[in-house]
Amino acid sequence: MVKATFGLEENVASALCYVLLWVTGIIFLLVEKENKTVKFHAWQSIATFLPLQILTWILGFLFVGIYFFGLYWIIWLIDIIIFILWLVLMYKAYSGEKFMVPIAGAFAASQVK
């Protein structure tokens, strides 16, 4: 099997790109110099989870005052989507599958050449 950063197997390093959402994506992007698969997963992690987290922060800030009106469930729904996506992406990366999230996957693929 192909080795990647820190002497890890490619599939393990790819899955680790998602462990702390976009944070580990940035770490692996900065550290990994050669392995294109790991770089793809690092970019996809950043392009998927950073915008979603920023969206939840913005909505959380906007909905603080209207929490009692029942609109806070939107943030809860986004968090569930993030959690499910996180599990799926880690599993697919560990399985060696190059699963592409719409928009973020295309962006990630364009960054790795």
pLDDT in tens, 2-18: 787 778 999 999 999 99
- Domain holding 95, by residue range, is 5-111
Percent of the chain predicted with pLDDT > 70: 92
pLDDT tens-digit profile, the chain (113 residues): 678 777 899 999 999 999 999 999 999 999 998 999 999 999 999 999 999 999 988 888 877 666 556 667 788 899 999 999 999 999 999 999 999 999 999 999 999 98
Confirm if 89 and 101 have CB atoms less than 8 A apart. Answer: yes
Strand partners, 9: 3
Q: What is the pLDDT, as a whole number, of residue 71?
A: 66
* One-letter identity of residue 19: V
Which pTM was predicted?
0.90
Question: Judging by beta carbons within 10 Å of its beta carbon (0-12, 13-18, 19+), is residue 60 exposed, middle or buried?
Answer: middle
Total number of domains in the chain = 1
- Number of neighbouring beta carbons within 10 Å of residue 111: 15
